[in-house]
Structure 1
Amino acid sequence: MLKTALNHYTNNFKGFSREIWILTIVTFINRAGTMVLPFLSKYLKEDLHFTYNQVGWIMVAFGLGSMLGSWLGGKLSDKIGFYKIMVFSLFTSGVSMFLIQFVTTFEALCVSMFLLMAIADMFRPAMFVSLGAYAKPENRTRALTLVRLAINLGFAAGPALGGLIIMGIGYSGLFWVDGSSCIISILIFALLVKEKKKIIHDDKIENAAAVKSVFHDKIFWVFLFVSFVTAMIFFQLFTTLPLYHNEKFGLTELQTGLIMTLNGLIVFSLEMPTVGFMERKGFPKIKIIILGSFIMSLSFFLLLINIWAGILVISMICISLGEILTFPFSNAFALSRAPRGQEGQYMALYTMSFSLAHIVSSKVGFEIIAQLGYQTNWFFMAFIGIIATLSCFWIKNALAAENVS
């Protein structure tokens, strides 16, 4: 029984090309070093002593830079290729991370964070497009999931290690480790993976006259709204929740890091088997996203129970399950929806929805907390999660009508 279960689990990791595995390892190294993000709001509030309002505006600059970077990364990937964009983005953002720790004024940090994220987030749409070159069509969702696993395994190690670094040598250590991981990971990629033109598979060959502009794809735009809302909810993990842990329950950086590590471990353990099972059973992607967005919404309803610290762990488990069901299939839905030659444009808009969520999530979250408290913020996030779930039902019906016509 145990051997059979183990074989089923390991079978999910078979059939990938060498390049996909290298990309996965590179992503893990990079993500494990990305320790600044989970503690960024705490660093700005507690180390640099900014107000909630100032922290919110710095996060807005963070998100605006991310949006610009996502758009540029997708546009340039279609024009000059994903490979060059990936190398430039990670190497330059690594060097920038070394420098940004010396920026401590509010105005300068807004500008610096904007520029840093404009460079760093060029990587994301380029990386998604690279999967079209290095993954087989039948492996594409699992390849996306494998890369996400690397992200989450790195995330499982990163926050706990980051908490130890802060307690040992302070926040400056995070910037040095983060910058180094960017540079090391992209050097490994450049040395081991050769540039390759994206192969147009049979499932992407279409009549050019029948290809519509992304701006006329109504289903995709409603899907982008769903992606934006679910990301907005999820990003509370990196903005308001770490502060809530300390202010409401008195948790240390290490304890916060360990709760975030739980998220990474759950996703690492369950995401690939879940995706493999769903693909084998042929469940429609949109139905899986419906369930995931509902569970993510439920996790914030649970946070309304604020008399017991254990609810933070239960809520984190629900967030993790919602993430497993929502994000890998959202990635795959966006990539499968893109017509030939427009993959970069579609993935740019998809990643931009996450960048916009960064802006709105932090700013709205901190403003609600400052004016009305944490409880109101948790209710608001849960409520918009229900709206996203209902929007998924509209997409499901629209897809059915599209297939009939």
Structure 2
Amino acid sequence: MLKTAFTHYINNFRGFTREIWILAIITFINRAGTMVLPFLSKYLKEDLQFTYNQVGWIMVAFGFGSMLGSWLGGKLSDKIGFYKIMIFSLFTSGVSLFFVQYITTFWALCVAMFLLMTIADMFRPAMFVSLGAYAKPENRTRALTLVRLAVNLGFAAGPALGGLIIMGMGYSGLFWVDGASCIISISIFALLVKEKKKAVHDDKTESASDVKSVFHDKIFWVFLFVSFITAMIFFQLFTTLPLYHNEKFGLSELQTGLLMTLNGLLIFSLEMPTVGFLERKAFPKIRIIIVGSFIMALSFFILLINFWAGILVVSMVCISIGEVLTFPFSNAFALSRAPRGQEGRYMALYTMSFSLAHIISSKVGFEIITRLGYQINWLFMACIGVIATGCCIWIKNALITEKTS
């Protein structure tokens, strides 16, 4: 029985092109090497002696650089091709990381982080567009899921490696290793993968070939709002929830880490089989996103039960299931919605919604907690999750109307 289950699991990884596997491998190398990020605020506070206010502003510059980079990466992918943008972004940001470690003044670091993230996050929309070119149409959602899996595994390995490097080489070692991982991963890509033109859009059920511009695509803008809300809810996992674990239930760092590991294990074991099954059954993407966003909202309603520590496990399971259903199909919906020649613009706006959520999520969460307490924050996150679910239902109906008109 275990052998059969394992065979079914492995079968979900079959059918990918060679280029998709290389993309997944370089994504893992790059994300495992992205070890500056988990320690950045710690480095700024403890090593450079900045105040909390200054650290906050540097992180804001970081976030806005990410947004600008996402937009530029998408726009330029449509203009000159995703391949050139991917190589430029990772190689240049890798070299830049070598020099950023020598910048130690506040304003210079604000500018440096803004420019670094502008260059670095040009990669994300270009990479999404490349999946549309290299993946077979019938397994495009699974290809997106494979790359997400590589990102999650890379992020899981990165902080542990980062901690070891800090112990052995100090914070400067992080910048050297992170920069080197960018250059090595994109060099592998350039050597093994040849440039390919974007594939013709063939997902007619949810595409919008008659839409002239992304700015006139009302359905897509409502979808971006849904993506922003679900990302904002999800990012509470890394900002307010770890503090809640300790302040309310007295959980240690190890116990919080184990809860985070549970999330990673559930994503690793469930996401690819779930996506493979739903893709084979040809379930409409927006219906899956409706269920996923509702389950994410439910996970925060569950947190309102605050007299039993076990509820944290139940909530984490719900968040993880919501993530499995929401994010892979959101990626795929955004790509399938784009008319031919505008894939980059659409994926740029999609990735920008996550960058904006990253900036706002912690600010809003901590502000509510400071003024009104954790319970109100969970209620707020749950309610906006319900609003996102309602918007998804509107999108589903709007797609039916669009298809029949």
Q: TM-score, normalised by structure 1?
A: 0.89
Q: Following TM superposition, where does structure 1 have runs of at least 4 consecutive aligned residues deviating by more than 6 angstroms?
A: none
Contact 2:210 2:339 in 1 (8 A): no
Mapping of residues 63-142 of structure 1, within 5 Å: 63-142=63-142
Mapping of residues 259-338 of structure 1, within 5 Å: 259-305=259-305, 311-338=311-338
Between the aligned partners of 1:243 and 1:191, the Cα distance in structure 2 is 45
Between the aligned partners of 1:264 and 1:195, the Cα distance in structure 2 is 33
Shift of 1:342: 0.8
Which shifted more, 186-195 or 72-81?
A: 186-195
Which shifted more, 307-316 or 111-120?
A: 307-316
Shift of 1:177: 3.1
SS at the partner of 1:341?
coil
Mapping of residues 124-273 of structure 1, within 5 Å: 124-165=124-165, 171-200=171-200, 202-203=202-203, 210-244=210-244, 249=250, 251-252=252-253, 256-273=256-273
Number of aligned residues: 404
Shift of 1:313: 4.3
Contact 1:156 1:260 in 2 (8 A): no
Contact 2:226 2:392 in 1 (8 A): yes
Percent sequence identity is: 85
Residue 385 of structure 2 is aligned to residue 385 of structure 1: yes
Between the aligned partners of 1:54 and 1:71, the Cα distance in structure 2 is 26
Which shifted more, 343-352 or 45-54?
A: 45-54
Between the aligned partners of 1:106 and 1:380, the Cα distance in structure 2 is 34
SS at the partner of 2:330?
helix
Aligned twin of 1:20: 20
Between the aligned partners of 1:35 and 1:102, the Cα distance in structure 2 is 17
Aligned partner letter, 1:274: T
Between the aligned partners of 1:14 and 1:166, the Cα distance in structure 2 is 38
Consecutive unaligned residues in structure 1, runs of 5 or more? none
Between the aligned partners of 2:335 and 2:36, the Cα distance in structure 1 is 29
Which shifted more, 159-168 or 329-338?
A: 159-168
User: What per-residue deviation string (whole Å, max 9, x for no partner) do you get for residues 123-173 of structure 1?
Assistant: 001001111221111121111111111111222322344455556665544
Between the aligned partners of 1:378 and 1:53, the Cα distance in structure 2 is 25
Which shifted more, 124-133 or 189-198?
A: 189-198
SS at the partner of 1:210?
coil
Aligned partner letter, 1:151: V
Between the aligned partners of 2:311 and 2:303, the Cα distance in structure 1 is 7
Mapping of residues 2-41 of structure 1, within 5 Å: 2-41=2-41
Between the aligned partners of 1:160 and 1:21, the Cα distance in structure 2 is 25
What is the root-mean-square deviation of aligned Cα atoms in Å?
A: 2.9
Contact 1:292 1:321 in 2 (8 A): yes
Q: TM-score, normalised by structure 2?
A: 0.89
SS at the partner of 2:252?
coil
Between the aligned partners of 2:86 and 2:401, the Cα distance in structure 1 is 38
Contact 2:208 2:337 in 1 (8 A): no
Distance 1:279 1:156, change over 3 A: same
Aligned partner letter, 1:130: S
Between the aligned partners of 1:112 and 1:307, the Cα distance in structure 2 is 46
Aligned twin of 1:362: 362
User: What per-residue deviation string (whole Å, max 9, x for no partner) do you get for residues 51-77 of structure 1?
Assistant: 554444333222211110011001110
Distance 1:79 1:34, change over 3 A: same
Contact 1:59 1:358 in 2 (8 A): no
Distance 1:181 1:315, change over 3 A: farther
User: What per-residue deviation string (whole Å, max 9, x for no partner) do you get for residues 324-382 of structure 1?
Assistant: 11010000000111111111111111111111112212332333344444444333222
Between the aligned partners of 1:176 and 1:107, the Cα distance in structure 2 is 22
SS at the partner of 1:200?
coil
Shift of 1:272: 0.5
Shift of 1:281: 1.8
Aligned twin of 1:343: 343
Between the aligned partners of 1:312 and 1:40, the Cα distance in structure 2 is 27
Distance 1:201 1:397, change over 3 A: closer
Distance 1:240 1:117, change over 3 A: farther
Between the aligned partners of 2:49 and 2:312, the Cα distance in structure 1 is 26
Aligned twin of 2:403: 403
Shift of 1:120: 0.8
Between the aligned partners of 2:208 and 2:296, the Cα distance in structure 1 is 39
Which shifted more, 142-151 or 161-170?
A: 161-170
Mapping of residues 45-60 of structure 1, within 5 Å: 53-60=53-60
Shift of 1:286: 1.0
Distance 1:266 1:105, change over 3 A: farther
Aligned partner letter, 2:183: I
Aligned partner letter, 1:317: V
Contact 1:152 1:265 in 2 (8 A): no
